[in-house]
Structure 1
């Protein structure tokens, strides 16, 4: 595709009033991007050297730009995005390694072409409070920061971490500031001592018809967790996603979309490189469930008598808009999106088939319409049919990846993966093959219980 046909935009972040321009979109700090100084203090920055404020501006600018510029999904995926950002520590941001590693990180994550220009910011950085993590021992190196989505994987891995490392303190960076109370309450009801919660200190003005892909989202949460880890001295960040989510998106792609790398070790390695160039500190990202399925997580929790049904009830997985999956003023898991299908297969493997209420509840029905829960009507059936088709096919394609005919693809994936983890190619290949085999076993067993004539089995067969 010619470069002129690729969506492109330039954004200028500024603290000053500026004239509108047809070439550059003006982004006002304090209006379009707002930084909560109190929440920022929770990341335990002990000195106000400006870097912390600069990073919040960067996070807000990346989110604003990513959500503002729409992709041409039918033609191509990539976009060209340029951002001018005012910073307090200009000399640091002008170092070649800083800009280079930042661009590499975002290009790899989103599939776009990013570029940055840094300019001097007027004034001095506001002072930050001291020792904000009151429940955490900042001198304790046995401390782990976790990007916490309130989902099943993040909660489950936090619990497993606490059970295996009872002396380790945990800080959860929760993903949605609007639901902070729910996040805090859900964990505190489990009486998990040693868990602290910090919110996102950056807010971006709500946009009309934003770009829905939002691939840069992990950049914000992983970066915030990393900053806290560096400041606390622990330097460890746990990525709780299971292997189907972490690696599956790199093995199974859709249409023009590039590989999905939000939880992939390649992204966390590149983010670590950026942080090293910027701060001089090394952050260790570790993926405890990289070669595990969601089903294995549920079984591990059940083996430790964690009350898995109650956990399932409190921690959602559905990626569908709540307004579309509601019925009789009650929010359900839709039951057909990729996340719900993965959850349903995991529930079956852990013998928890009735652990979640779904909008499309009947797995044995011959059609999707017949699968709708009793009384369900006025749903957008075509929307859910497309969602189900994509979700089932992705699950089946990932299962097919482990077959003998796909051995070459698995070997290539293992070579790439081994560049970012501690294992060599041979060990990585064995572990990856084991993950794919386990996924195929869980998925095939789930399909078998649905029956050959079910709507889900029909889609899986193509």
Structure 2
């Protein structure tokens, strides 16, 4: 790895503790609370402290430190461009970060670096030191600030504005659960999340929060492979408040994602690296659960749909009438922010369209490219569609177990279930592509 250029990021919540920027060193102000007084500092987490205070409870030190780590990782992932690395993909990132209890995290440094390497494909190195930002004093219920409603909440669920997360919320409410729906509320995502939430039936509360990264100069990287770490950190904040009020021993954090996308096995041999994200891969989730258990974060991360395809999630949704009412507000596309419209031809869009087809829901969002048959004649747009066709053609030839293992380690006890959901996911897409005269 000696040939890979290393970028060092140094973090602090006080700008005067940060060194001057140079070509290989990026100073980043965490939480950005003391105001920007220098032109060479990037900022992340500007609005986060106010959001934490609105939970109305004192956050434990280990959870505050985990949030600082997650924000630092998001900063590195956002501010350091992949294209500047030697191979155009793998970055070597060194992060110096003050924590409240660095000794607790130093013992887990290797586990954390390994989990992040799996998640993003980069080489991570952490240096933890003293002087971290302490948990902020919560607002009281008598203050002028609106507090997040926590009383009566019994679990946390990630609520992104996607189809899977909408089904996750609908199912929990149908079962009589009272979730705190946690959202990473980026500007475009927030309006979609609000539209879906307004139509939900049952008792729930919402916690919306934004990492809000700002780079001092240059452009940001858009691959955002580590976004799920930040999402988990926000969920943990909410779960900590729920635990404090409900006095439960462990709080469930639900990560609603269909098993086919969660596995995200490479569709073709050339898609192993850059095109196979691992944001909710079972190995990453298990790695984070292990870190939570060792550090004393009382949460249980669960993907209730790990062995269901997206189509099965749609078909078996506990309130399909409500699902058909919100489906047009949900987003699955990996490119939608460019034009605020879903493309219809990326892998997530095609899997979404297949799931609604097999799930019997006729309503859907507008797509930039509506009839798929036309896309087959466009060389620059048919890449994902072609990859899915190749995968479908190979599912009866290739060893499915070997295939899914390429996406990362999987537990042997449930390996057959992973094979099953992957095959059924491809079967679903095949049925849809036949209906569209693509196969």
Q: Same fold (TM over 0.5)?
A: yes
Name whichever of 405-414 and 193-202 sits farther off: 405-414
Seen in structure 2, the aligned counterparts of structure 1 residues 20 and 70 have a Cα distance that, compared at 3 Å, is: closer
Give the Cα–Cα distance (whole angstroms) in 1 for the partners of residues 155 and 112 of structure 2.
Answer: 24
- Note if contact 2:148-2:206 (Cα within 8 Å) is conserved in structure 1: no
- Note if contact 1:105-1:271 (Cα within 8 Å) is conserved in structure 2: yes
How much has 1:445 moved relative to structure 2? 1.9
- Note if contact 2:67-2:233 (Cα within 8 Å) is conserved in structure 1: no
Q: TM-score, normalised by structure 2?
A: 0.82
Q: Which residue of 1 aligns with 2:156?
A: 145
Q: Which residue of 2 aligns with 1:362?
A: 371
Tell me, what secondary structure is at the counterpart of 2:354? helix
Q: Which residue of 2 aligns with 1:185?
A: 194
Count of residues paired in the alignment: 412
Give the Cα–Cα distance (whole angstroms) in 2 for the partners of residues 74 and 345 of structure 1.
Answer: 38
- Note if contact 2:119-2:226 (Cα within 8 Å) is conserved in structure 1: yes
Tell me, what secondary structure is at the counterpart of 2:11? strand
Corresponding position: 1:311 with 2:322? no
Question: Which of 108, 115, 128 is 1:105 aligned to?
Answer: 115
Q: Which residue of 1 aligns with 2:15?
A: 16
How much has 1:323 moved relative to structure 2? 3.8
Matches within 5 A, 1:2-151: 3-4=2-3, 6-14=4-12, 15-17=14-16, 18-29=19-30, 30=32, 31=36, 32-33=43-44, 34-43=46-55, 45-47=57-59, 50-72=61-83, 75=87, 77-94=89-106, 96-97=107-108, 99-121=109-131, 125-129=135-139, 134-137=148-151, 143-151=154-162
Q: TM-score, normalised by structure 1?
A: 0.79
Q: Which residue of 2 aligns with 1:376?
A: none
Q: Which residue of 2 aligns with 1:242?
A: 258
Q: Which residue of 2 aligns with 1:382?
A: none
Question: Which of 308, 313, 317 is 1:297 aligned to?
Answer: 313
Give the Cα–Cα distance (whole angstroms) in 2 for the partners of residues 243 and 417 of structure 1.
Answer: 12
Q: Which residue of 1 aligns with 2:171?
A: 160
Corresponding position: 1:261 with 2:278? yes
Give the Cα–Cα distance (whole angstroms) in 2 for the partners of residues 286 and 353 of structure 1.
Answer: 30
How much has 1:57 moved relative to structure 2? 2.8
How much has 1:400 moved relative to structure 2? 4.7
Question: Which of 428, 437, 448 is 2:434 aligned to?
Answer: 448
Q: Deviations over 1:365-403 (max 9, x none)?
A: 48546xxxxxxxxxxxxxxx43431x2134335435642
Q: Deviations over 1:245-281 (max 9, x none)?
A: 1012467661643853211111111112222233x23
The answer for unaligned runs of 5 or more in structure 1 is 325-330, 370-384, 458-462
Give the Cα–Cα distance (whole angstroms) in 1 for the partners of residues 385 and 321 of structure 2.
Answer: 30
- Note if contact 1:39-1:201 (Cα within 8 Å) is conserved in structure 2: no
How much has 1:129 moved relative to structure 2? 3.1
Q: Which residue of 1 aligns with 2:40?
A: none
- Note if contact 2:265-2:403 (Cα within 8 Å) is conserved in structure 1: no
Corresponding position: 1:336 with 2:339? no
